[in-house]
Amino acid sequence: MFDQIFPNLTDRNSSAESPQTTRYNCVAWAVHNDLMNIWPDADNAWPIGMPRDETVEGMVAFFKQLGFEECPDSSFESGFEKIAIYARNSVPQHVARQKSDGRWTSKLNVLADIWHSSPDVLECGDMIENGYGSVVKIMRRQNDGRPPVLPPMHPPPPIIIRL
């Protein structure tokens, strides 16, 4: 199903882990949030006071605000959680997160969450219209077992009321 957009994705290096949903997107999934869509455009949540700058630099600034720092590669480092930022024609398209077992996880747009063996398997260069392009930044943060704390967002995240 994904092979036209992600030619490197196979049954041996990936697998779906959830049903399809539009409730959250890849950036939210990268920060362990499955309740909102986070993106620097007018239609999604973004930190209050942070420019809605749909650039790689804007994405890097967002993740730095959450405690991530740039790092040289996507290899597994015990005690760290890593993310990969993908861009096509210098415009951010996707973010993936490394899991504590070294595999990677991604929310594929409105499709499923998947695990994948490395960030490279989602790369497709700049030529595939709906593809994510290439990994342009790897970032990491100390992994204390808790998700990053999101700053106040606009629009704010939904409030869940349980009766």
pLDDT top residue among 45 and 7: 45
**pLDDT at residue number 1:** 54
| Burial class of residue 109, CB neighbours in 10 A (0-12, 13-18, 19+) | middle
**pLDDT at residue number 131:** 85
Quote the CA–CA distance of 154 and 163 in Å, as a whole number.
Answer: 26
Compute φ and ψ for 120, nearest 5 degrees. -60, -30
Which of 18, 9, 2 is CA-nearest to residue 120? 9
Reported confidence tier of residue 159, pLDDT bands at 50, 70, 90: low
**Cα dist from 73 to 93, 105, 120, whole Å:** 19, 16, 11
pTM of the model: 0.92
Whether residue 16 has pLDDT greater than 80: yes
38-53: pLDDT as tens digits: 999 989 999 999 999 9
Quote the CA–CA distance of 135 and 19 in Å, as a whole number.
Answer: 25
Return the residue matching tokens 């993936």. Answer: 96
Return the residue matching tokens 């890097």. Answer: 60
Task: Determine what percent of the chain is predicted with pLDDT higher than 90.
Answer: 77
100-130: pLDDT as tens digits: 999 999 999 888 899 999 999 999 877 777 7
